[in-house]
């Protein structure tokens, strides 16, 4: 794709209206201020965000870029209803500048994955090198993926429901390897995180309610085996497709609530 948040930003802004980016900025701002900030970024494409506002803008751009990328891949027939797992994440904005909570929300808002997905961070930007190395040593990428070179961000369960917002749509039980467990009831429109540290695994039992489904989950038994991450096991019940309120105050409060729910 001929765009990115650095040198590719100018090309991206020729393709997408700035109005599409504005709703995804974490704190509401005037449209002209956003235009000016994006223009300044095109003049210094390698600059690192030095303020919370600058980072919020870059993450908003990343969300819309991901949405456009997914839309394009679907038009090409590359993505199917089976979903995609795992998702490898590279780039300094997402892997180093943002907090884990900000990174996860950016990925979920942009990609809007289906079913159960593991998100993995490439903090050392080695994924491109692996692609080249794999041509010479085909097993090397697999070995690196299974090593500590990558960091697991979270395992995410994405729900789709036709129930009204606020209605309870899922009962979940996560059993740990030591025999302990945690049970939660999830409401439509919410996002929650259950503790499951990197390197740990557990059994996840899900009981969808009220016209709720877990697409592309591939369930063949009565539980899912899930792996931990920095943010643990996340259940995203905000719905698909995910849309933002047009009211600035409602949108700001909603985003702040999501970050808090993830431990931020």
Range name among 18-22, 184-188, 246-250, 256-260 with the lowest pLDDT average: 246-250
Pick from 100, 2, 129, 6: nearest CA to 62: 6
CA dist., res. 68 & res. 84, Å (int): 16
pTM of the model: 0.89
Name the pLDDT band for 107 (thresholds 50, 70, 90).
Answer: very high
**Residue among 204, 244, 245 at smallest CA distance from 221:** 204
Q: Where does residue 87 fall: left (phi above 0), alpha (psi -120 to 50 degrees), or beta otherwise?
A: beta
Q: What is the pLDDT of residues 169-194, one digit of tens each?
A: 999 999 999 999 999 999 999 999 99
Least Cα distance to 238 among 189, 205, 201, 170 occurs for 189
| Max Cα–Cα distance, the chain, nearest Å | 56
* Cα–Cα distance measured from residue 86 to residue 72, given in angstroms and rounded to the nearest whole number: 20
Among candidate residues 260, 164, 171, the one with its CA nearest the CA of residue 214: 171
**pLDDT tens digits along 31-40:** 999 999 999 9
Instruction: Find out whether the peptide bond into 99 is cis, omega within 30 degrees of 0.
Output: no
């Amino acid at each position: 794709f001929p765009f990115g948040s650095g040198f590719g930003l100018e090309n991206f802004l020729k393709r997408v209206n700035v109005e599409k980016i504005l709703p995804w900025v974490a704190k509401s701002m005037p449209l002209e201020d956003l235009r000016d900030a994006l223009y300044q970024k095109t003049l210094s494409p390698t600059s690192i965000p030095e303020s919370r506002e600058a980072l919020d803008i870059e993450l908003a751009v990343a969300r819309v870029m991901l949405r456009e990328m997914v839309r394009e891949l679907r038009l090409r027939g590359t993505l199917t209803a089976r979903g995609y797992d795992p998702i490898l994440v590279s780039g300094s904005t997402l892997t180093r500048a943002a907090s884990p909570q900000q990174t996860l929300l950016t990925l979920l808002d942009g990609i809007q994955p289906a079913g159960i997905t593991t998100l993995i961070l490439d903090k050392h930007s080695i994924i491109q090198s692996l692609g080249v190395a794999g041509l010479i040593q085909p097993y090397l990428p697999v070995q690196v993926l299974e090593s500590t070179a990558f960091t697991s961000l979270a395992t995410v369960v994405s729900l789709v429901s036709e129930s009204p917002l606020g209605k309870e749509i899922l009962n979940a039980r996560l059993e740990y390897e030591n025999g302990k467990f945690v049970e939660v009831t999830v409401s439509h429109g919410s996002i929650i995180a259950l503790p499951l540290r990197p390197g740990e695994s557990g059994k996840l039992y899900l009981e969808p309610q009220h016209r709720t489904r877990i697409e592309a989950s591939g369930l063949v038994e009565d539980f899912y085996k899930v792996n931990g991450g920095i943010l643990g096991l996340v259940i995203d019940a905000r719905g698909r497709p995910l849309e933002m309120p047009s009211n600035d105050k409602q949108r700001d409060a909603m985003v702040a609530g999501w970050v808090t729910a993830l431990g931020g």
